[in-house]
Structure 1
């Protein structure tokens, strides 16, 4: 009993000592300890790329670009960390596995990375349709076809013939009566002739269309006509000359295209005046309309004032410079087109390189480099100063004995419905080799190149686009071929 009391007493003493040390029993909690510092604020962020829709074992093709020249190529789903805040571009390219092509959607997109957070971009691959095209002849025995076009939604094909006629192909038949015949005033020597046609954006209401041709004095002429009461016949008396550009001395390098841009203005691409190496120095002369891409407003055209100068043309109201000029430094531009806010402009080279220039539609005053440069090569080595020049986005070398080609035939970005898996690809050909090729541009680079292995169909003079966005090839022997789906990959 006495031992038990001793144990209980010792236990009570220990509890008292513990409470005293802890300040228990309602006493003061004591002074607070030192405050912990706040963690430093995050200065970088992350970007999660989620790629799906591809079979197992097939890698995606994604390029991420951003501030401070950041660039990263990815083959699938991945999170990129430590990124500087800002806007990042995500460009995805189609992927071909075996005979099947998988197309990303969307092909390009952007994401904003903020410090301390993660942005997410999803790329979905789909399609899986056979990656093959074939050519089918839709017309033959035409007289030097140089261009094919149609008003948006129209099922007819309007084919320009070099001697000066515009023919209509309807339901597979070439109509006997030309839509328009101005052959009596067209010069066809050298590279001259009736070279292109553009329908006014408001053609359904006003009936206007514009021709690009060379006259007997070798001038480049842009002339407006109006469709007649019969929709298959134009009114030959409705002529209004918009612009006439002198082109003396040589019978080559007339350029040859007129087209309306998405801004509603009329664009035309002229050659440098001819001769080898631009002997007259027109391409770099801002007081000459030759070797240029011109841009004018024809919406209120009259005989007294056939065009006006858009307010944002780069040389408007500048002494010694022609206000019609939008871009300079061209040798012999042979076809240009617009797509998704971009201008695709092909320029025929001298001896070595063929090129395609790609630039935002609203970028004014670009100098594409001729005759300082031929593509990315120095043409005049003694004065090869690249400063201020815009070099091509794509080019190819002629090769030994022009094995690769000798004269680019520019084309269009495909936006038709027959081959949806090929949307976004720029199709082009070469006059000498007659092949059909394409490339896909995105993120400031060429993401995919393809030779469609259709064989050679002869000298390809031009590509054309119908009212539904389908594409065609025209040959010097008078045939027109439509690009369609191949039954075999």
Structure 2
């Protein structure tokens, strides 16, 4: 080849190589916004996908890109994916939450074709949607339901009827045979009855569960029963009475809930024995198990020793003070909730105030004030509040539409379906029938919210299933699951 032609050929090759490098083809590098895919940079045999994510206020998005050759990439912000094998790529976008606002993607899913040597684009825009809650009726026509519970992770729901039966709901249908029927042992007049059930933390292995009921002599009874793991019918002959608390004079203020804490101990909320104004004087009497939050250890329960006293209980070894007591000064705790090391107690007031008491379970010996106080209201002129633990939240009987009369405590939400509401404590009122939540942090209630719902009549209780989702139990005999409902944000 003549020297002049050879020189021209070399210059042409150099120019072509420079152009290829400048275009980012085949070489390394790439711009800061370029994310290489499974095949390195783009070339004549690979393609590029630019994903634009538009979110309000810099909130991180939640996208998953998948495609040929098992390609998978999670994205939270706009990015360019290079070196992709040609083919169809699916972009799935999930909702994101900030506080009580949910941001929904549009579109939620799309498919984009990436061609060799070409640039494909996709856009996902997030728009704010105000979260609202709705109800789905899951059971109806029940005879005085008062509670719903389930072992952790169990797909069934166990419905407690005040008459003494526990029903099983599986796959949305009630099983024909009760899980337990102790109706012959249960006193149901006044506020009595079978009032709650708690499954042992080791239920999947040991089959133990505990019930709270009033017996035919009107005493409060805590009794343990047994069921074979996975069975939908328990053994009614397996009962072991754990604790019996005398409560004969009045047929109200029985309390009614028992629950296991994160410490593995059993907590029991008892009422003051009934009557108006605590005539029996149980509220602040440390020698009485009424009007208290009790805490006992049932992990090694037997007929000879049905429970043990936790050494950390506040009155251990003190004369004329029952060692089972964890806290005092409660009128009628109609449901409480244990959430980690914190307890939320909904204490029913007398004539004017309803309250929520919140404390750490390490704070044994607290006095919530009844019958010296109703909420923060002194029942006697010049009452001394020294040493009392005042409510974290209270409301008056005239503060709710239709009039409030008796608080109904719920749970702290820890489910997955409404993840943006994690840590919110839900409660209602028997007469007002509202649904409200609060958020407690730093020793104070820092958020309160009302959730408009269709009228379902008097609310008796909340329930929680094995996945942490919440339910409302209505006096009408229906049970409703609380779920997500969206309304456009104004």
Matches within 5 A, 1:263-278: 263-278=263-278
Aligned partners of 2:159, 2:319: CA distance in 1, in Å? Answer: 40
Instruction: Give the deviation of 1:248 after TM superposition.
Output: 1.8
The aligned counterpart of 1:428 is 427
Aligned partners of 2:131, 2:246: CA distance in 1, in Å? Answer: 46
The aligned counterpart of 1:412 is 411
Kept in 1, the 8 Å contact 2:206–2:229? The answer is: no
Kept in 2, the 8 Å contact 1:435–1:457? The answer is: no
Matches within 5 A, 1:144-293: 144-228=144-228, 231-293=231-293
Kept in 1, the 8 Å contact 2:56–2:127? The answer is: no
Matches within 5 A, 1:7-406: 55=56, 100=101, 130-228=130-228, 231-381=231-381, 384-399=383-398, 403-406=402-405
Instruction: Give the deviation of 1:343 after TM superposition.
Output: 0.6
TM-score where L is the length of structure 1: 0.74
Aligned partners of 1:139, 1:431: CA distance in 2, in Å? Answer: 19
Instruction: Give the deviation of 1:206 after TM superposition.
Output: 0.8
Kept in 2, the 8 Å contact 1:413–1:425? The answer is: yes
Task: Summarize deviations over 1:61-110 as a string: whole Å, max 9, x none.
Answer: xxxxxxxxxxxxxxxxxxxxxxxxxxxxxxxx9656xxx358xxxxxxxx
Aligned partners of 1:459, 1:206: CA distance in 2, in Å? Answer: 37
Task: Summarize deviations over 1:9-31 as a string: whole Å, max 9, x none.
Answer: xxxxxxxxxxxxxxxxxxxxxxx
Kept in 2, the 8 Å contact 1:434–1:455? The answer is: no
Aligned partners of 2:416, 2:254: CA distance in 1, in Å? Answer: 34
Instruction: Give the deviation of 1:403 after TM superposition.
Output: 3.8
Aligned partners of 2:127, 2:467: CA distance in 1, in Å? Answer: 21
TM-score where L is the length of structure 2: 0.74
Aligned partners of 1:362, 1:423: CA distance in 2, in Å? Answer: 22
Kept in 1, the 8 Å contact 2:261–2:340? The answer is: no
Aligned partners of 2:248, 2:320: CA distance in 1, in Å? Answer: 21
Instruction: Give the deviation of 1:54 after TM superposition.
Output: 9.1
Aligned partners of 2:172, 2:282: CA distance in 1, in Å? Answer: 43
Instruction: Give the deviation of 1:354 after TM superposition.
Output: 0.6
Kept in 2, the 8 Å contact 1:147–1:160? The answer is: yes
Q: Alpha carbons of 1:380 and 1:403: their partners in 2 closer, same or farther (altered >3 Å)?
A: farther
Instruction: Give the deviation of 1:380 after TM superposition.
Output: 2.4
Aligned partners of 1:337, 1:235: CA distance in 2, in Å? Answer: 28
Partner SS for 1:132: strand
Aligned partners of 1:368, 1:414: CA distance in 2, in Å? Answer: 24
Q: Alpha carbons of 1:459 and 1:189: their partners in 2 closer, same or farther (altered >3 Å)?
A: same
Instruction: Give the deviation of 1:341 after TM superposition.
Output: 2.0
Aligned partners of 1:485, 1:191: CA distance in 2, in Å? Answer: 33
Aligned partners of 2:99, 2:263: CA distance in 1, in Å? Answer: 34
Instruction: Give the deviation of 1:476 after TM superposition.
Output: 1.0
Instruction: Give the deviation of 1:435 after TM superposition.
Output: 1.4
The aligned counterpart of 1:83 is none
Asked if 1:483 corresponds to 2:459, the answer is no
Alignment gaps of 5+ in structure 2: 1-53, 60-96, 104-125
Aligned partners of 2:472, 2:128: CA distance in 1, in Å? Answer: 26
Alignment RMSD (CA, Å): 2.2
User: Which has the higher mean CA deviation after the structures are superposed, 448-457 or 323-332?
Assistant: 448-457
User: Which has the higher mean CA deviation after the structures are superposed, 224-233 or 129-138?
Assistant: 224-233
Aligned partners of 2:292, 2:260: CA distance in 1, in Å? Answer: 16
Kept in 2, the 8 Å contact 1:344–1:357? The answer is: yes
Partner SS for 2:487: coil
Aligned partners of 2:425, 2:127: CA distance in 1, in Å? Answer: 19
Aligned partners of 1:57, 1:241: CA distance in 2, in Å? Answer: 58
The aligned counterpart of 1:21 is none
Kept in 1, the 8 Å contact 2:131–2:486? The answer is: no
Instruction: Give the deviation of 1:160 after TM superposition.
Output: 0.4
Alignment gaps of 5+ in structure 1: 1-52, 59-92, 103-125
Larger Rg: 1
Task: Summarize deviations over 1:242-275 as a string: whole Å, max 9, x none.
Answer: 0000002100000000111111011100000000
Aligned partners of 1:177, 1:127: CA distance in 2, in Å? Answer: 48
